[in-house]
Amino acid sequence: MLAGANRTGLKKRDMVTLKLDKPRGVLHSGEAVPDITHARYWPSAALAAFVEHYWTVEWNLSAAVVRETLPHPVVHIVFENGTAKIAGPTTKRFSTTLNGNGRVFGIKFHPGGFRPFIDMPVSIFADRVVDLDEVFGTAAQGLAGKALAHADHRATIAVLEAFLHARKVSPEPTAALMARIAARMAEDRAITRIEQIAQEFAIGLRTLQRQFRDYVGVHPKWVIQRYRLHEAVARIDEGTAGDWTALALELGYADQAHLIRDFKRLVGRTPAQYARQKPRNGGAAKANA
């Protein structure tokens, strides 16, 4: 039985609930918000060590719309049109075109949270999309059809949680450590070098790099850099980032030019261009509508 399960009664967050904080890394397109709905749900307590949240995007569009998101150091399992895919951590922004009517459902794991479910390093999945049954065999066959057969989100999540529970995995100390380290990288803007992480967590640099490749799938330096750009995008979206030099220094860049270079490489636009294209209503999907 997974850690956190309780045979005699419900513990905190045993019931799946809606996640209300604002998603990070969703890029505005410069267009008005179309009829797209994005909702996220906390996992039950028994799976909280592994799963960050469940998510769904639903749309009803008269014309095609391109949606882009920045990469996160995580694995997703994605269900759409009767298929189930493992989407490994991506090192570039993700772009997808939505058209007509549709729905996609996903499981977003914590950094390191997918590793206990498999007997291979997560780096194998970096920048790759793999059929779920290639990894989980017959246990994954028909899962997408069962999950997407339900219109109710919580019913879909119940199917997905049953699948995860059936894997009979237990929390791993290294996976938990990777999640804590990634959270520190995301939350503390003063962390700009992996040496700071190694010192804070009393772990050797080579061990840190090896465990990140094994459990997270990417290099820890890359994670720090991506989270800095997530913060830059969030500041622009909030309207609090007008001074690029000050923002660059705050995020650990040597100067404004380095921030602009990295931002354009990942986002496809300079910070100033991205800020100018921001629509009045935000240009992103309706979150948790």
| 199, pLDDT greater than 90 | yes
Q: What is the CATH number of domain 173-276?
A: 1.10.10.60
Percentage of the chain surpassing pLDDT 70?
88
DSSP string, 37-71: EEEEEPPPGGGTTTEEEEEEEEEE-SS-EEEEE--
| 282, pLDDT greater than 60 | no
Q: Provide the whole-model pTM.
A: 0.87
Convert the pLDDT of each residue in 151-191 to its tens digit: 999 999 999 999 999 999 999 999 999 999 999 999 998 89
Architecture of the CATH domain 26-171: Sandwich (2.60)
Q: How many residues does the chain have?
A: 289
Q: Which two tokens stand for residue 286?
A: 């309706």
Convert the pLDDT of each residue in 249-269 to its tens digit: 888 888 899 999 999 999 999
Domain range annotation of the chain: 26-171, 173-276
